[in-house]
Structure 1
Amino acid sequence: MANLIVTGGAGFIGANFVHHWRKVSPQDMIVVLDALTYAGNPANLDGQEGVLLVEGDICDTPLVSKLIADHDIDTIVHFAAESHVDRSIAGPDAFVTTNVVGTHSLLKAAKAAWLDQGSGRPHRFHHVSTDEVYGSLEADDPAFSETTPYAPNSPYSASKAGSDHLVRAYHHTYGLETTTSNCSNNYGPFQFPEKLIPLFTINALNGRNLPIYGDGMNVRDWLHVEDHCKGIELVLRKGRIGETYNVGGGQELPNLTVIEDICRGVDNAFAADPSLAARFPDAPPAKGKSTLELKTFVTDRKGHDRRYALNVSKIRSELGFEPARDFPLGFAETLSWFLSNEDWWRPLLKRNAL
């Protein structure tokens, strides 16, 4: 039996991890520490027994220390982060504070509890990071591996790179038992509608333009969030202390392809279920039109990385990781989830004026 703190556990990936961990280890106790900023939603944890939600900031080291002591925590799974590149370009300060200072706060509290005052019991600090720390690839470049030099290009990826280095340093300097995973683009249930797939799906349902950066040919590797959670579980259970593991979906696609898949998926959903036209009267297929008509090309993002791709041979060979979904299956499930959970995302649109 383990006692976990899951930081950012009311957000997208963190909440999915909580759901996953409750299924595979229902005997474990989970404390979710989440600041409940715009992307944190307590509703993401509805129905999860044995989960204590604590509203708080990871930068509050005394709070983290108290939670570790009060709940006999032996595992921290650290998802909490500012993660939207556009927001980091407009306001990088919050990214440095949360991603760098916040991670250091957690590391200090973990070191104090498990090493300075600890009994030597096994523990784990798992840090969830991103492929963006490695920079950008050209079309013919080999995929990023765990030994690829860091070359972050946005304030977001730079702040995540800084946090990765701190986790590494706390292992090598102090002996903290850490692991890190760097993932590719996630998608799936509970994703806040500022990221590409939920944003464009909801825009399509509401008849809003689909703004495509540049030529739309920036390539990303897509990973369903449930596959990501299974990868993290493998790292926690079998990963080597002090190691980094890339977790990718093996689904490299240009943004334009993903967007056109969204358009076709929405059109097909309306054709299969005529009741959708009454629920979403502003959607093009409700008017006999194609969702592709909403595509709009806009000025490219500043410093927009051209391509990301992850080499996952390490986690595959060492831990047996294999994604269960290709993109067509994963996206079909995701579209179905958003169509079936309008009551989840409608309040977010109103609350955040999206």
Structure 2
Amino acid sequence: MTTLLVTGGAGFIGSHFIAMMLKKYPKIQILNADLLTYAGSQENLAHISAHPGYTFVQEDIRNREAMSALFKDYDISQVVNFAAESHVDRSVTEPDVFMTTNVIGTQVLLDTAKNYWKTNPADPNCRVYRDGVKFLQISTDEVYGSIEAPEKRSEEAPLRPSNPYAASKAAGDLVVLAYAQTYGLPVNLSRCTNNYGPGQYPEKLVPLMIEKALRREPLPLYGDGLHLRDWIHVSDHCRALDAILFEGLPGEIYNISGGCEKTNLEVVRQILKLCQRPQDLIRHVADRPGHDRRYAVDDSKIKRCLGWFPCIPFEQGLLETVLWHSEKFSNANAFDLRKD
């Protein structure tokens, strides 16, 4: 039986994707390959660890020999590449690891898939691949750079990354597209807006601010807090990836948007309200380098071509996320938000 390889599946979005796919497709086989860096944890998938369709291996996508062995041993038929360094702040101080993982790691995976999926791997000019194979690269709206309102970027827009993280993802995207053009490899690219939801590592805005609010600690907000982001619940994102993986036209890029544009200040104020904390906990701090003012993508293509639409309202999803964190830290918080 062929297997779907999910790289970085112990992270926030990857773990949600794996759980969703196992629930939706009872006969699917999923191999989760994750290096288990600081942002990845097997606890994210503890509830499905015994599922007969799930296997975990601790591996680095930059390790060519290890990736080749996985393709051979598990007969990999599709790849969904979540594996990436993804925090902008860290990329400013540690850009080298972002480049090696997000660019070189992606190239190693592409090369391994190309060689394994070719119908005639001995022929360097062979552009014919096994039926049903697909390489889905998970990217980000940040590759388009900052965008003035009310404009939105389509999939054909030029890439203008502003920080090392976005630059590494843009470079990885170009490598994916080059493999499609040069070798005919069946690929798709997805570029999504800001995710939120239960289980996100607390270096991102939403979980960081929720945890600080629950602890009654000051909430540090970069600059004036008026940076605009489009927010999408992780479950809506995963549904979009499912559609792209099985229905996306090879070679195509698909933007994914939650259709919910809010300033960081609006999000933090809403978190404080849900946590029953005073607004004066907000502390404006010096802005970070390479902090884009606004991201916004045009997602009409995925709606038109694949029939996908987001369905979780931000207010509902944020409350669910606050309740998850409140339960996680229940020993430190005497109140129960469900009473309201």
Q: Which moved more, 1:250-259 or 1:202-211?
A: 202-211
Aligned to 2:8: 8
Pick aligned residue for 1:120 from 117, 120, 130: 130
| Contact 1:250/1:310, CA 8 A, preserved across alignment | no
Alpha-carbon distance in 2 for matches of 1:122, 1:323: 27
The AA in structure 1 aligned to 2:192 is C
In the alignment, which residue of structure 2 is the partner of 1:324? 311
Give the secondary-structure state (helix, strand or coil) at the position aligned to 2:154. coil
Which residue of 2 is the match for residue 108 of structure 1?
111
**Is the contact made by 2:2 and 2:74 (CA closer than 8 Å) also made in structure 1?**
no
The answer to whether the 8 Å contact 2:189/2:253 transfers is yes
Q: AA paired with 2:68? A: S
Query: Which residue matches 2:100?
Result: 97
2:236 to 227, 238, 247: 227
Q: Does 1:296 align with 2:306?
A: no
Cα deviation, residue 119, structure 1: 6.5
Cα RMSD of the aligned pairs, angstroms, is 1.6
Does residue 130 (structure 1) correspond to residue 146 (structure 2)? The answer is: no
SS across alignment from 2:231: strand
Give the superposition deviation at 1:291. Answer: 3.1
2:73 to 70, 75, 85: 70
Check conservation: 1:77, 1:127, Cα contact below 8 A. Answer: yes
Q: Which amino acid aligns with 1:248?
A: S
Residue 46 of structure 1: aligned partner: 46
5+ residue gaps, structure 2 = 122-127, 333-340
Structure 1 residues 66 and 336, CA gap change in structure 2 (3 angstroms): same
8 A contact 1:8–1:32 mirrored in 2: yes
For structure 1, the 5+ residue unaligned runs are 268-289, 346-354
Work out which of the residue numbers 188, 192, 196 in structure 1 matches 2:205.
196
**Partner in structure 1 of residue 255 of structure 2:** 246
How far, CA to CA, are the matches of 1:26 and 1:156 in structure 2? Answer: 36
Shift of 1:341: 2.8
The TM-score with structure 2 as length reference comes to: 0.92
1:1-45 deviations in Å (ceiling 9; x for gaps): 751110000000000000110111121111100000000100111
User: Distance in 2 between the 1:291 and 1:38 partners?
Assistant: 31
Give, in whole Å, the separation in 1 of the partners of 2:13 and 2:139. 11
- Partners of 2:33 and 2:247 in 1: CA distance: 25
Deviation, structure 1 residue 143: 0.8
Looking at structure 2, the residues matched to 66 and 326 of structure 1 have their Cα atoms a distance apart, in angstroms, of: 42
What is the alpha-carbon distance in structure 1 between the residues aligned to residue 318 and residue 2 of structure 2? Answer: 33
- The number of equivalent residue pairs is 322
2: CA distance, partners of 1:35 / 1:334: 26
Instruction: Confirm or deny: 8 A CA contact 2:2 2:75 kept in the other structure.
Output: no
Partner of 2:21: 21
Per-residue CA deviation, residues 273-307 of structure 1 (Å, 9 max, x unaligned), is: xxxxxxxxxxxxxxxxx431210000011121000
For 1:311, which of 278, 298, 307 is the aligned residue?
298
Please say if residues 4 and 76 of structure 1, whose CA atoms lie closer than 8 Å, have aligned partners that are also in contact: yes
- Give the TM-score of the pair, scaled to structure 1: 0.88
Match of residue 339 from structure 1: 326
> Within 1, Cα distance between the matches of 2:56 and 2:174?
28
Write the distance in 1 (CA, Å) between the matches of 2:18 and 2:37.
18
Q: Report the equivalent of 1:180.
A: 189
Q: 3-state SS of the aligned residue for 2:47? A: coil
SS in 2 for 1:212: strand
Deviations 1:132-173 (A, max 9, x none): 000001233x11110111000000000000000000010111
